[in-house]
Amino acid sequence: MRKWLLLACATLFLLPTACKAVNQDSLWMYEHYTKKELYIPMRDGVKLFTSVYLPKDQSEKHPILMTRTPYSCAPYGENDFRPYYKNHFNTYLKEGYIIVTQDVRGTWMSEGQFVNVRPFNPAKKGKKEIDEASDTYDTIDWLVKNITGNNGNVGVLGTSYPGFYSTMAALSGHPALKAVSPQAPVTDWFIGDDFHHNGAFFISDAFSFYTVFDQPHPKPTTVGPKGINYYTHDNYKYYLETGALPNFAKIIGDSVAFWQEMYDHPTYDAWWKARNVRNFLQNVKPAMLIVGGLFDAEDCFGAWNTYKAIEEKSPGTNNRLVMGPWYHGQWGSTDGTHLGNVRFGSNTSEYYANNIEIPFFNYYLKGKGQAAGIAEATIFFTGENKWRQLPKWPPANVEEQPVYLQEDGKLAFTKPSVSNSFSEYVSDPAKPVPYTEDVHFNRTINYMTDDQRFAARRPDVAVFESDVLNNDITLAGPVVADLIASTSTTDADFIVKVIDVFPNDFKYEEDASSEHRRVPSATYPMGGYQMLVRAEIMRGKFRNSLENPEAFVPNQPASVKFTLPDVAHTFQKGHRMMIQVQSSWFPLVDRNPQQFMDIYKATDKDFKKATIRIYHDAQHPSSVILPIVK
C-alpha cells in the first residue's frame, strides 16, 4: 500500500546516511543548495517544522515549491538532504526552485494536534479557529516575507494525503499562491477514496495504514511509528481468521481516535460530509493541475472528482486534469512503461514530467514557457496506448450506451427479450472471492490491471462475455452499473468489473530496450488475458441512499445502480468485452455478513451464506452503461 510505503520511506530518511551524495546529481544538489530547518508560527501560536532547500545562486530571485505532509519531511538535520535528485524533481533543482517541505500540524516535529482530513472552515473567526487552509496561508505568508531571494510566487503540490493538503492550500486565498497540483488527492473517504467505496470498508488498506499511522504524538519527534507483528504474511488468511470488524478494533486499541470515529459513523452523515473536500471548492484562485492514475488503487476517485467539483463550483478557475495509466504515485517514478503485465508502449511518467508538470509550474511561478500548450484534459487511453489532449472531460462526443447481460453468459448491446432469466451464485463469507490470485501480504499495486481469469473460474462469480469485437470501442467517462438483483438475505455487496479480453494469440512485440525486457509480460501468457479495466463495489444496503441504508426484501428483485470511476480505454477490434459480477472482494473489502445491520458491530456468528441472483430478462434487464466515444 502506497501510503504505508510512504511511512516506511519517511522512516528510512531518518538514517544519517540515507541521503549522502552517491552520484553526480546528488553531488550537484549538495554543491548548489543549502538546507535550513525552521519553525514557522501559525496564527494560534503553534509552530510547524519546515525544511527549506535554498539555491546558493542568488543572481536571480527564485520561486517556492512546497509540499505539506503528515509523512515527515525527513531526513532531519541540516546536513542531510532529501533525495529530490532521484526523480523529475531534479529538474526543479536545476531550475533554481526553493523547495519546501513541512510536517503538518501535530505530526513528527511539528507542534499542535493532528486531525485526520481536518474539515475546512470557510467562516473562521479570530486566531484560534484554524484549518489546513489557514496553516497553509500562514506558512506562505511567512516564507515570502522571510526567505531571502524568493520571487514572491509560490506553488504547492503533493500526492495522496499531501494531495489533500494541496487542495486545502488552494482554498487558503493567499495572493502569492499562483499554482497548485493536488495529485491523487484524498477527497472523500466514505464514497470513493482509500477506506470506503460506496460505504464498503476497505479493510486491508485501512488496517495496514492505521496500525502504523496516527499513533499518540504528545510532543515533536523524529522517531517513526511501530507497527504490529502479524502471525502470517498471507493477507487472505490473516484477514479471514481475524474475523469481524470489532476484532480489528481490539487490535488497533483505543489510541487511534480516527479508527473509532469511523466505526461511530457507519453512514454518510454530517461528520463524513464535513470531510468531503468537494463541498468547499468554490472560488478557487490559483491555477490548478489535478493529477491521478487510471489504476490508482487508493485515490482513483479523488483526482477525477476534485477536477469535476472545481469545474462545477468554481467555473472561472484555470483548472486542468491529467490522468495517466498509473498506480498510486507512479507519475512521480522514473518508469511509467507498464503496470503489472500490461504495457503502455512508452515511458508515460517521463512524458508527464517533461510536458505537463514542469512546464505548468515554470510558467506560473517563473513566467517561463507557455502554459497554453497544456490541454484542459490530458488523458492516456489504455488499449490504444495514446495520450489524448481534450478540451473538456468527459469529451463532448460521448454517448451513454448500455451493454446488457444476457442468458448463457452472453453480453450484447441489444436488450434481452427472454423471460425469467437470471444467473445465480452462492456468496459464502467463509470463502470470499479474492481480489487477486497470488499469495501476498501487502495489498498489491497491480491488481487494477490484473488478469481476471482466476475469478472467472469461480462458481460465485457471474461472467458475461461479448462476441469478438468488429470495431474499436473507446470509453471516456464514468461507467454506471445498472443491475437488477436479489439476495436470499437482507444485505449483500455487488462488485462489477469491466474487463478487456485479449485474443488467444495475443503477444506483445518484443522491444530491444532493457526496460521492456524486464516487463513480466515477457513471460506471462497474455493470450486470453482478462485485463481489469475498472471495478467498483456497492454495499447493497446503500443502493438507494448512503445516508439511510435499506434492507433487501429476501428473494425480491431490486435495482442496484451505482457509478464506477471514470474510464479511458479502447477495446480494440479482435478483443472481447467482459463483465463480471460478484459479492465479495477479499481482503480488499471487509466481508458483508449479508444481514442488514451495522457491520462495524457484527460478530463472527453473524455471517451468513446468501443466494444471489443477477436478472437479465425483458422484465428485469441488467446492464452496464458505457460512455462510448462516437
Neighbours of 440 (CB within 10 A): 12
On whether both 317 and 416 belong to a single domain, the answer is no
Q: Which of 356, 390, 424 is at the close of a domain?
A: 390
Query: What DSSP line would sit under 416-461, residue for residue?
Result: P--SS-EEEEEE-TTSPPBSSSS--SSPPSSGGG-B-HHHHTSTTE
Residue 494 is placed in which grid cell? 455487488
**What per-residue string of b and e applies to 115-151 under the rule 16 or more CB within 10 Å gives b?**
bbbbbbbeeeeeeeebbbbbbbbbbbbbbbeebeebb
Question: Is the Cβ–Cβ distance between 181 and 291 less than 8 Å?
Answer: yes
Residue 286 lies in a domain: yes
The C-alpha atoms of residue 115 and residue 506 are separated, in whole angstroms, by: 50
Residue 204 lies in a domain: no
pLDDT, one tens digit per residue, over 443-496 is: 999 999 999 999 999 999 999 999 999 999 999 999 999 999 999 999 999 999
Report helix, strand or coil for 246.
Answer: helix
On whether both 536 and 578 belong to a single domain, the answer is yes
Question: Is the Cβ–Cβ distance between 258 and 252 less than 8 Å?
Answer: no
Question: Is the Cβ–Cβ distance between 101 and 404 less than 8 Å?
Answer: no
**pLDDT score of 513 more than 50:** no
On whether both 366 and 414 belong to a single domain, the answer is no
Average pLDDT value for residue range 414-430 = 97
Residue 60 lies in a domain: yes
Neighbours of 264 (CB within 10 A): 10
Residue 211 lies in a domain: no
Q: Using only the alpha carbons of the chain, give its radius of gyration.
A: 25
pLDDT value for 510 = 63
On whether both 359 and 428 belong to a single domain, the answer is no
The C-alpha atoms of residue 250 and residue 71 are separated, in whole angstroms, by: 25
Neighbours of 278 (CB within 10 A): 18
**pLDDT score of 150 more than 90:** yes
On whether both 471 and 360 belong to a single domain, the answer is no
pLDDT value for 518 = 55
Residue 554 lies in a domain: yes
The C-alpha atoms of residue 97 and residue 151 are separated, in whole angstroms, by: 10
**pLDDT score of 4 more than 90:** no
pLDDT, one tens digit per residue, over 6-48 is: 444 443 343 333 344 458 889 999 999 999 999 999 999 999 9
Instruction: Map grid coordinates 448491446 to a residue.
Output: 413
Residue 585 is placed in which grid cell? 472482494
Residue 355 lies in a domain: yes
Peptide bond into 429 cis (omega under 30): no
pLDDT value for 519 = 63
CA-to-CA dists, residue 140 to 134, 154, 158, 168, 309, angstroms:
10, 7, 16, 13, 25
CATH number of the domain where residue 135 is located:
3.40.50.1820
pLDDT value for 481 = 98
Q: Which of 390, 425, 452 is at the close of a domain?
A: 390
Q: Which of 358, 587, 445 is nearest to 6 (CA)?
A: 445
On whether both 283 and 430 belong to a single domain, the answer is no
**What per-residue string of b and e applies to 73-90 under the rule 16 or more CB within 10 Å gives b?**
bbbbeeebbbbbbbebbb
pLDDT value for 17 = 38
Phi-psi group of 488: left, alpha or beta (phi > 0 → left; psi -120 to 50 → alpha; rest → beta): alpha
On whether both 497 and 348 belong to a single domain, the answer is no
Q: Whole domain around residue 54: which residue ranges? A: 2-188+275-390
Question: Is the Cβ–Cβ distance between 446 and 524 less than 8 Å?
Answer: no
Average pLDDT value for residue range 213-228 = 85
CA dihedral 610, 613, 485, 454 (to 10 degrees): 80
pLDDT value for 20 = 44
**pLDDT score of 180 more than 90:** yes
Give every CB contact of residue 156 below 8 A, 6+ residues apart in sequence. 65, 66, 67, 68, 136, 165, 166, 169, 170, 177, 179, 180, 181
Residue 485 lies in a domain: yes
The C-alpha atoms of residue 222 and residue 591 are separated, in whole angstroms, by: 37
Full-model pTM: 0.94
Question: Is the Cβ–Cβ distance between 300 and 192 less than 8 Å?
Answer: yes
pLDDT value for 25 = 87
Number of compact structural domains in the chain: 2
On whether both 477 and 366 belong to a single domain, the answer is no
CATH number of the domain where residue 520 is located:
2.60.120.260
pLDDT value for 509 = 77
Give every CB contact of residue 177 below 8 A, 6+ residues apart in sequence. 136, 140, 154, 155, 156, 169, 170, 285, 286
On whether both 385 and 430 belong to a single domain, the answer is no
pLDDT, one tens digit per residue, over 190-209 is: 999 999 999 999 999 999 99
Give every CB contact of residue 312 below 8 A, 6+ residues apart in sequence. none
Phi, psi values for residue 169, rounded to 5°: -60, -40
Instruction: Map grid coordinates 501510503 to a residue.
Output: 3
The C-alpha atoms of residue 164 and residue 299 are separated, in whole angstroms, by: 11
Q: Which of 62, 63, 66 is nearest to 51 (CA)?
A: 66
Question: Is the Cβ–Cβ distance between 594 and 427 less than 8 Å?
Answer: yes
Residue 557 is placed in which grid cell? 428483485
User: How sure is the predictor about 370, in pLDDT bands with cuts at 50, 70 and 90?
Assistant: confident
Bridge-based pairing of strands 319-324 and 377-381 is: parallel
Dihedral of alpha carbons 164, 169, 172, 173, sign: negative
Residue 60 is placed in which grid cell? 536571480
The H-or-E segment that residue 204 falls in is: helix 203-210
Neighbours of 46 (CB within 10 A): 18
On whether both 384 and 411 belong to a single domain, the answer is no
CA-to-CA dists, residue 487 to 493, 541, 550, 599, angstroms:
10, 11, 13, 17
Question: Is the Cβ–Cβ distance between 84 and 99 less than 8 Å?
Answer: yes
On whether both 299 and 433 belong to a single domain, the answer is no
pLDDT value for 22 = 58
On whether both 112 and 15 belong to a single domain, the answer is yes
In the chain, the amino acid numbered 372 is A
pLDDT, one tens digit per residue, over 530-557 is: 999 999 999 999 999 999 999 999 999 9
Q: Which of 336, 361, 390 is at the close of a domain?
A: 390
Residue 200 lies in a domain: no
